[in-house]
């Protein structure tokens, strides 16, 4: 279980950093490319699923 928590703890910040990098690139260029939009959505979904799955794992552990 600790391994899963470590993996999730690494994936979430990585996704957030990527989202911020895409946002900064969009601000610098003045527009966001379609590819950046796809990447942003992918990282946003990944980050949200990471939070949801980690919350579910914590709830299961608390039940035991």
**Quick one: three-class SS letters along 9-26?**
HHHHHHHHHHHHHHHHHH
For the chain, percent of residues with pLDDT exceeding 70: 94
pLDDT for the residue 1: 62
- The answer to whether the CB of 32 falls within 8 A of the CB of 26 is yes
Give the model's confidence band at 27: pLDDT under 50 very low, under 70 low, under 90 confident, else very high.
very high
Give the model's confidence band at 38: pLDDT under 50 very low, under 70 low, under 90 confident, else very high.
very high
Whether the per-residue pLDDT at 19 is higher than 70: the answer is: yes
Give the model's confidence band at 10: pLDDT under 50 very low, under 70 low, under 90 confident, else very high.
confident
Domain definitions of the chain by residue range? 15-20+30-53
pTM score, two decimals?
Answer: 0.72
Beta carbons within 10 angstroms of residue 55's beta carbon:
10
């Amino acid at each position: 279980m600790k391994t899963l928590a470590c993996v999730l703890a690494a994936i979430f910040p990585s996704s957030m950093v990527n989202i911020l990098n895409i946002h900064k690139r969009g601000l610098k260029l003045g527009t966001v490319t379609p590819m950046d939009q796809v990447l942003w959505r992918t990282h946003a979904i990944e980050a949200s699923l990471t939070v949801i799955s980690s919350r579910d794992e914590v709830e299961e552990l608390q039940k035991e």
